[in-house]
Structure 1
């Protein structure tokens, strides 16, 4: 049978595609990826066994505290290296233990009004500090959660005992993270499997960018390269496993990461200029990735043609990478951080103040309302008033998505988790059954973190099981009621105008200003003719990284309800222009290395991007740091080709 084309002219019907608003669409999306089986195993070996050991020796209350600490550490147990896990899990645990001690003594010595004021002030400071970065945000969250638990949970132990047990619970999970090998990653020293995977991913994404040169996917591939470099930078930034000198494996990884920076620079320049790249270059990059992943030698590497400055830079970088892989030695890679002064400026700048205001007010109001209801005995004899401020802390965190999305997911997840536990509690499970429930929930945590509703459901079941293990009756109804009340409080506080008008939309403006400053520093360094390439690569990394952080913050704000989303107006286009500027400066750097000057195309592009950025700032009402160019530019004095 021969198929024939249709010759009728009847209209084709199209189904209307219903696109949900951004705040709802975010609630319906979940992250995807392979199951992190190693994290699942760690979760199963953490909270449940700790609770079982405590019950076996008749110390149920201590087991509950240790299991809570392990649960919170499990939420932070994300993919990455062992080095970064020390900071990612350890710092929040230490801060959380301090919060538990402070909350315990404050709850024992202060009345309801004074305690609410203390928690409000603590929440405001913790909210400001959260703006510094992901680890600071996790630490501030654990500080507030532990402070509320310490103030409200009836436990026989003193504050310092609770703090030590909390540290032991979180430390147990950290010990598992450091000691257990990752399945399938035993090549070389298994302690560095996360670092090897992160560095290998950098080489793979450079190869992907070279494949996309001249095509429509080049911008997306360059964005993926930025993300891969960020992850590798974080993976190598943790504490050394040896105190005074890096091991051979660490030095090799540092050398391999450092060798990727000029390769990434050359690939970005090629994508900017759309220079043709033959298939040999991506093949060489993938061989390097395989060598990193398997801790093996690279073997012979195919070289690209040296027909243009960016291609010559790529060839030189490949040769340098091969030598670095053979030597296996390199210095400490560029690390982030402007020191205490920079962290202070971030925490108490416009973005930090705005977030601190909302966290403090939500946390303090939650504590005040909960204690008022508790003393009014609206919930009966068994009231867990600390649930309300604890829920408010998680709801007010922008790390977990837009505000309305967080509220919807929290409400749905709590109801689902409470119903599941209520069904389990129809037949009282007994101590062994509760330990089993906590163990299963601990194993599910690494997978549940992909969606806030799923995470909430798992945490709800786990917390209700711990409440029963501590000797209190089943409390599913109270959990639902206080969660819904916290949702209302956070929704109201989230849409209140901040006290200082300059702080409105402060997080978006602060991120955008930081990215613009980093772009200006990179631009000034390259066009000054300085020959410090290590500093240039560090400035380039910081520029792209701050731009990625700004883009993420803007996307999150744009997905809010209109009252909050308006603060992101015009910011996304400004980030796109800044990214184009940094791409152009990268191409300039490569061309200057090869010829000592720039072409009119380079300078025209810089002038055009800066002009468009200035016009856009005026239209969108944005205020960015001024960009200053050296006069004359290198091309005007050196080359016109």
Structure 2
């Protein structure tokens, strides 16, 4: 089912091609508006009050919060923006007092320890990664950008800046809500769009059955389900959904799970389905977007177990839509023991060591250069270690791609700022420039170089508003030094085997796949548990595949350590697809066909072979 893509002879190498690729999609106008209203008004208020330095701190916090302001529901933004902001404030407090009371050696040791801890924690997930990043950036700013205000004032200013953008995220209606049906509750527009996308993804998979697009469509369905699960799992005051609109969305999401299961089983069988089969999920998607009843659905087609499952799921969804009630959402929960296992595991140790070494080395080099007056006339040395923090993060892309994009973005941003600074009035023109850059951050987030360019202009504008002279040349030099540090540390051998994070992800996906298979073969009637295990299996696989794809785009010296893991993940994905097909067939007939059992046996044998081959390859590289 999966085919190995071969790179054309004239194609760019993966490590260079990744640096040139950018994400695509519609312009997030709501995030653009929030970005424009974030840093600029904070600076204006601070300048009017005569506290420019506090305004700079608040605007920096708003910028960092804007980087974490991603598409999704309003409630998930509380965790996505708020938790990293709290960590950033803690880092700012620690850096401020450590920079004022510790010597260079002790300060470097402290920052290195923070890097070790933040790096290890970052492997938990996206929010944890952003939390670790802001902790380190805050500590670098606190220690390396001494401000005239005491820490008990700068920390509340930082929290106020992040809180301002979060308030904008929660309170402002989206443009679509203003121009659309006023009967729709705009507070849930993110959740509504996420659930509707699930039904659209089911319809797209049904359309693609029997074609070469079926694999990609099934992966898109997994991504849509992941996004909807996250959108509906945001923090709330009560354990269960408390409003009618929220209960309705939970019921609609739950009704999509058996639809996705039936569509996956049909795709596994590669059996063409009637064109009208996809019309039902599309009508349900429109009903979700319009907050309306399901209405009439296409006539059923029940000639096959998977088609009967699809029809039953459509009828169940129509009933759930009309009733507006259903089972409460099952969210992805991790026990403290499992989180600690991830942080202290091989992946957490490897990333923690690299983050700690890069951050500590960046701080040490920056302090030496600062005290030795080796470059520039500015007094602040935060740029080099803060740059190293972003460069060392593997979830931002392959190492060389990050370095190339960072250098290009910093050089372009510094040159642009030098031109703006020469012609703009101060501070009014710089405040306008901060507002414009804040609006561009959500758009520039599609490419690391573009984001670096915008952030460079924004930060240089802020520090000039705070009273620091222009230092574009110095920022370019510090960026090049940070790139050199991260490249060296990124290629250093570490205790244990290289690529431990990739193997940990594959092992987690393997455990989730086999837990799902075991439950299905037990012929349990607990479908809620089955759907939960199925979601975890596909989600773990998606996370492993994303990490493998990033590792494959590294330089050959690093990419070879992930060789074979993509083959294991592909077999696991086919195993989970087959398990889903078995579950649907067992529901209908109570027994498996020889095709199912033979396919399961073949996949188990192939998985054992692939895992053994991957293990031998890794042992050879380690030797």
Equivalent in 19, 28, 44 of residue 27 of structure 1: 19
Equivalent in 560, 566, 571 of residue 554 of structure 2: 560
Residue 604 of structure 2 is matched in structure 1 by: 610
Listed as ranges, the matches of 1:90-129 within 5 Å are 90-129=82-121
Q: Deviations over 1:455-483 (max 9, x none)?
A: 11101101110111001111111111101
Structure 1 residue 304: deviation in Å?
2.8
Listed as ranges, the matches of 1:586-605 within 5 Å are 586-605=580-599
Structure 1 residue 380: deviation in Å?
4.5
Rounded to whole Å, the distance in 2 between the matches of 1:243 and 1:612 is 43
Structure 1 residue 241: deviation in Å?
6.2
Q: Does the 8 Å CA contact 1:102/1:159 hold for their aligned counterparts?
A: no
Q: Does the 8 Å CA contact 1:441/1:462 hold for their aligned counterparts?
A: yes
Residue 468 of structure 1 is matched in structure 2 by: 464
Q: Deviations over 1:160-194 (max 9, x none)?
A: 22111111000100000011111123541100101
Residue 330 of structure 1 is matched in structure 2 by: 326
Equivalent in 271, 276, 279 of residue 280 of structure 1: 276
Q: Does the 8 Å CA contact 2:424/2:430 hold for their aligned counterparts?
A: no
Give the match's secondary structure for 2:468.
coil
Equivalent in 18, 37, 44 of residue 10 of structure 2: 18
Structure 1 residue 620: deviation in Å?
2.2
Rounded to whole Å, the distance in 2 between the matches of 1:573 and 1:555 is 12
With 154-163 and 522-531 compared, the bigger mean Cα shift is at: 154-163
Structure 1 residue 613: deviation in Å?
1.0
Listed as ranges, the matches of 1:325-404 within 5 Å are 325-404=321-400
Give the match's secondary structure for 2:525.
coil
Structure 1 residue 340: deviation in Å?
1.4
Structure 1 residue 245: deviation in Å?
5.2
Listed as ranges, the matches of 1:246-261 within 5 Å are 246-261=242-257
Rounded to whole Å, the distance in 2 between the matches of 1:245 and 1:621 is 46
Structure 1 residue 337: deviation in Å?
2.4
Give the match's secondary structure for 1:425.
helix
Equivalent in 55, 62, 70 of residue 62 of structure 2: 70
Give the match's secondary structure for 1:517.
helix
Q: Does the 8 Å CA contact 1:617/1:623 hold for their aligned counterparts?
A: no
Q: Does the 8 Å CA contact 1:92/1:135 hold for their aligned counterparts?
A: yes
Residue 158 of structure 2 is matched in structure 1 by: 166
Q: Does the 8 Å CA contact 2:552/2:559 hold for their aligned counterparts?
A: yes
Q: Deviations over 1:488-521 (max 9, x none)?
A: 00000000011x224x211100000000000010
Residue 448 of structure 2 is matched in structure 1 by: 452
Structure 1 residue 541: deviation in Å?
0.3
Rg larger in structure: 1
Rounded to whole Å, the distance in 1 between the matches of 2:555 and 2:321 is 51
Residue 639 of structure 1 is matched in structure 2 by: none
The reply to whether residue 481 of structure 1 matches residue 477 of structure 2 is: yes
Q: Does the 8 Å CA contact 2:241/2:247 hold for their aligned counterparts?
A: no
Structure 1: state its 5+ residue gaps.
1-15, 625-641
Change in Cα spacing, 1:538 to 1:65, as seen in structure 2 (3 Å) is: same
Residue 401 of structure 2 is matched in structure 1 by: 405
Residue 5 of structure 1 is matched in structure 2 by: none
Rounded to whole Å, the distance in 1 between the matches of 2:240 and 2:153 is 34
Structure 1 residue 20: deviation in Å?
1.1
Give the match's secondary structure for 2:423.
coil
Listed as ranges, the matches of 1:488-499 within 5 Å are 488-498=484-494
Structure 2: state its 5+ residue gaps.
1-7, 619-623
Q: Does the 8 Å CA contact 2:346/2:496 hold for their aligned counterparts?
A: no
Structure 1 residue 17: deviation in Å?
6.5
Q: Deviations over 1:80-119 (max 9, x none)?
A: 1112111101110111111111111111110001000000
Q: Does the 8 Å CA contact 2:46/2:55 hold for their aligned counterparts?
A: yes
Q: Deviations over 1:591-622 (max 9, x none)?
A: 11111110111000000011111111222227
Rounded to whole Å, the distance in 1 between the matches of 2:602 and 2:468 is 68
Q: How many residues align?
A: 607
Q: Does the 8 Å CA contact 1:116/1:368 hold for their aligned counterparts?
A: yes
The reply to whether residue 178 of structure 1 matches residue 170 of structure 2 is: yes
Change in Cα spacing, 1:622 to 1:601, as seen in structure 2 (3 Å) is: farther
